[in-house]
């Protein structure tokens, strides 16, 4: 059995940490979860009366194996004991109720990974849930993860980027719901009887984000003929360095959603807005992280420059050509960043080569951040619909709207007597189509993008070898 030594921040010394995934109970748990997943409906229930339904005894046996495995693994993770007890109770209650729509609220409330963030600490997570950018159904999933909380990150969070709910995490192993593009673990995805008043944590898999970034960026750089500075070339070859860039980027991005001049609920929970509003919000948070990274670099922090180029390359190369073209707000944000830099001569596509002015890139990118922040500040004094149009005008300054767009024709083309949310129906699925540059890049990177589904750092290293 593999053992590694990690620092125990609570005890102040070294303790032996046995990898959960090396314990024989982990594959038993994983296999039992996969067995139940196949029987579940989209809402997480198991219809025992369906024509092709499994035998109740088979479902019970699989659930018993999950419970037994959790109980065997729990002693390896004493910090999670309360969660494991609640998890077993929720599993048993689900079975007693005939495997209806699952309710794991009690175990969700008992799972508190952000309460004590210890670098390298393992967590075993089992929930019926959907995985964002992955499986839309609330299937049972099992994940073993590790906390990423090095001292330098903890100090930055404590002194300037307070974010007590943020968890940087890495995969140890996972069930098939995470063999997808999902790189987050969010409590709001879990099947519960009622949403709690507030969530107390949110996790980002920085190892998957870094691995995906490396593979796509290396391919894009080769296709576009970009000449990279030596230190950035070295960064792309270093998984650990990229993970550190992403965990810092994600921490600052996450807190940015609730900081600044905000004319609306920044998370847009249960709101219906045009997708360019979501695109601008995600880009604003990324550019806030970029701006802070410029400051950190000026102060001599070695992670500052890495974060800047992680933001630039991921936003310009991966985001615009990933996913479908139906309300792709992350894609829109990437298109907007590229177009802004192109119109300000920071990037030039000449002789089939992408040239980047590395000296001006930080200044002009921060300039875009400032313009979005002004848009938000002005929006505080605007009615909602007027703010939507102002945001549309801002985006369409840099991105050409679809020629069939009604929004592009202005208020006179829309029935503004309707509530604003009704006018969202007039937004085209691809309101801002890809430029010819991105149409061509999309074709060249299509197979690379597809290869990042379910990616892990080991996949990148194997490909490099």
User: How do residues 252-295 score in pLDDT, each as one tens digit?
Assistant: 999 999 999 987 766 655 568 999 999 999 999 999 999 999 99
- Nearest CA-CA partner of 365 in 399, 339, 385: 339
| Token output for 319 | 């985001």
**For 49-74, what is each residue's pLDDT tens digit?**
999 999 999 999 999 999 999 999 99
pLDDT classification of 459: cutoffs 50, 70, 90? confident
pLDDT at 224 over 70: yes
Contact 126, 140 (CB under 8 A): yes
Instruction: Please tell me the distance from the alpha carbon of residue 142 to that of residue 129, in angstroms, as a whole number.
Output: 10
| Token output for 349 | 């596509």
Q: How many CB atoms lie within 10 A of CB 31?
A: 15
Cα radius of gyration rounded to whole Å, the chain: 23
Instruction: Please tell me the distance from the alpha carbon of residue 6 to that of residue 47, in angstroms, as a whole number.
Output: 44
Contact 452, 181 (CB under 8 A): yes
pTM, two decimals, is: 0.93
What pLDDT was estimated at residue 462?
Answer: 79
Half-sphere exposure of 395 (CA within 13 A, CB side): 30
Instruction: Please tell me the distance from the alpha carbon of residue 270 to that of residue 268, in angstroms, as a whole number.
Output: 6
- Nearest CA-CA partner of 384 in 284, 263, 282: 263
pLDDT classification of 1: cutoffs 50, 70, 90? very low
**For 86-131, what is each residue's pLDDT tens digit?**
999 999 999 999 999 999 999 999 999 999 999 999 999 999 999 9
| Token output for 114 | 């952000």
What pLDDT was estimated at residue 262?
Answer: 86
- Nearest CA-CA partner of 462 in 239, 271, 199, 281: 239
Whole-number mean pLDDT of the chain?
93
| Token output for 72 | 């065997």
What pLDDT was estimated at residue 272?
Answer: 83
- Nearest CA-CA partner of 6 in 193, 213, 172, 190: 172
């Amino acid at each position: 059995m593999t053992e590694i030594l990690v620092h125990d921040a609570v005890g102040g010394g070294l303790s032996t940490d046995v990898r959960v995934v090396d314990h024989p109970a982990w594959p038993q748990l994983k296999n039992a979860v996969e067995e139940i997943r196949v029987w579940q409906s989209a809402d997480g229930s198991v219809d025992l009366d369906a024509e092709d339904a499994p035998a109740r005894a088979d479902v019970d046996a699989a659930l018993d194996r999950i419970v037994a495995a959790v109980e065997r693994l729990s002693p390896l993770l004493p910090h999670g004991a309360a969660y494991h007890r609640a998890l077993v109770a929720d599993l048993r209650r689900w079975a007693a109720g005939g495997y209806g729509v699952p309710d794991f609220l009690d175990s969700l409330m008992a799972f508190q990974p952000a309460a004590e963030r210890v670098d390298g600490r393992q967590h075993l997570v089992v929930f019926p849930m959907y995985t964002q950018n992955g499986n839309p159904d609330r299937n049972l999933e099992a994940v073993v993860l590790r906390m990423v909380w090095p001292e330098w990150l903890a100090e930055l969070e404590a002194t300037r980027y307070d974010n007590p709910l943020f968890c940087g995490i890495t995969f140890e192993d996972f069930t098939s719901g995470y063999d997808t593009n999902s790189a987050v673990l969010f409590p709001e995805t879990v099947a519960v009887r009622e949403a709690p008043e507030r969530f107390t944590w949110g996790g980002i898999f920085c190892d998957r984000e870094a691995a995906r970034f490396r593979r796509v960026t290396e391919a894009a750089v080769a296709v576009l003929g970009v000449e990279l500075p030596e230190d950035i070339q070295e960064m792309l070859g270093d998984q650990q360095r990229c993970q550190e860039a992403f965990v810092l980027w994600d921490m600052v991005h996450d807190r940015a959603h609730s900081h600044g001049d905000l004319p609306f609920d920044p998370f847009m929970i249960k709101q219906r807005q045009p997708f360019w509003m979501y695109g601008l919000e995600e880009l604003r948070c990324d550019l806030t992280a970029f701006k802070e990274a410029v400051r950190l670099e000026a102060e001599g922090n070695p992670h500052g420059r890495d974060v800047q180029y992680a933001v630039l390359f991921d936003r310009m190369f991966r985001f615009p050509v990933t996913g479908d073209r139906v309300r792709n707000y992350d894609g829109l944000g990437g298109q907007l960043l590229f177009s802004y830099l192109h119109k300000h001569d920071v990037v030039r596509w000449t002789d089939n080569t992408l040239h980047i002015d590395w000296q001006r890139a930080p200044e002009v990118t921060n300039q875009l951040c400032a313009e979005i922040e002004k848009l938000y500040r002005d929006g505080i004094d605007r009615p909602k619909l007027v703010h939507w149009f102002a945001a549309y005008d801002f985006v369409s300054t840099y991105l050409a709207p679809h020629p069939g767009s009604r929004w592009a024709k202005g208020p006179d083309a829309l029935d503004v007597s309707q509530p604003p949310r009704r006018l969202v129906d007039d937004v085209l699925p691809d309101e801002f189509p890809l430029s010819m540059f991105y149409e061509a890049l999309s074709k060249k990177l299509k197979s690379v993008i597809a290869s990042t589904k379910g990616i892990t750092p080991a996949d990148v290293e194997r490909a490099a070898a």
